[in-house]
Homo-oligomer: A and B are copies of this chain.
Amino acid sequence: MPAKPSGASSRRSRSTGAATASGGPPLSLERIIATAVELLDTQGVDGLSMRRLADRLGAGAMSLYWHVGNKEEVFDLALDAVLAYGPPEAETHGWRASVVHMLEDWRGAMLRHPWSAALLPRRALGPSMLGRLELLSQTLLRAGVADADLNVAIWSVWNYVMGATITRGSFDRSPDDLEAAQRRLTELGERYPSIDRSRLLLDSDWDGAFKKGLDLLLDGLTPKR
């Protein structure tokens, strides 16, 4: 069994490269991950199979296993790629702005790649999320959160973003679907009068609610001045 790079080193293949059977560009970790993300975005989690991924890359079905240990690693790498964070170019003023920026960017990334939110809790934390956690941690300390309260504060924020985004994503089906669901609720009639009446499934300002709740949460977690 030859030594495999197994995902760590992704040196680009130098020279012209014999390339793949169908004449496409040669395989590389970057290309594999980029195509995996593409496939996940368009076909969903169940749409990603090693065989389909290889096919899309113009490669033989088993070629991927040279670059990658197994399918789980593909998920980990795609997830980490999608969650990468480069802090804003412009100087943000104040700890609050930088926390909010990071969290909204995180949420945005998960909504742009709807498979990611559901996947994130099931995988180990990759560098992208560790980086975000580190930034969050440092910024909260800078904001005056006591050492003893730090972990609770971090997890509260984390939970808030995860809960809001997962829910929002799951109700982000087509308007027709939502209408149908709400109609089903109405048919069930007397069984669920209150949530039927409030049109719970339809009238929800997700973005506004997110911002508002986040403000409340940060107020609560942070020492009052």
Mark each residue of chain A from 175 to 206: 1 if its CB lies under 8 Å from any CB of chain B, else 0. 00000010001001001111100111001111
Chain B nearest CB from A198 CB (Å) reads 5
A203: nearest chain-B partner, CB-CB: B151
Q: Which of A124, A131, A160, A194 has the largest count of B CB atoms less than 10 A from its CB?
A: A194
A193: nearest chain-B partner, CB-CB: B134
Mark each residue of chain A from 111 to 126: 1 if its CB lies under 8 Å from any CB of chain B, else 0. 0000000100110110
A82 interface residue (CB < 8 Å to B): no
The interface-forming segment of A18-26, A94-102, A166-174 is A166-174
A159: nearest chain-B partner, CB-CB: B163
A198: nearest chain-B partner, CB-CB: B150
A184: nearest chain-B partner, CB-CB: B124
A47 interface residue (CB < 8 Å to B): no
A89 interface residue (CB < 8 Å to B): no
How many residues belonging to A are interface residues under a CB distance threshold of 8 Å? 50
* Pairwise interchain contact B163-A204, C-beta atoms closer than 8 A: no
Complex Cα distance, B167 from A160, in Å, reads 10
Interface of A, helix, strand, loop or mixed by DSSP: helix
A212 interface residue (CB < 8 Å to B): yes
* Pairwise interchain contact A166-B162, C-beta atoms closer than 8 A: yes
A169: nearest chain-B partner, CB-CB: B121
Q: Which residues of B contact A134 (CB under 8 A)?
A: 191-195
Complex Cα distance, B195 from A130, in Å, reads 8
Complex Cα distance, B169 from A203, in Å, reads 30
* Pairwise interchain contact A194-B137, C-beta atoms closer than 8 A: yes
A50 interface residue (CB < 8 Å to B): no
| 26 contacting pairs across A/B (C-beta < 8 A) | A118-B121, A121-B170, A130-B195, A131-B192, A134-B193, A137-B194, A137-B195, A138-B194, A151-B198, A151-B200, A151-B204, A152-B204, A154-B195, A154-B200, A155-B167, A155-B204, A156-B209, A156-B213, A159-B160, A159-B164, A159-B167, A162-B163, A162-B167, A166-B166, A216-B220, A220-B220
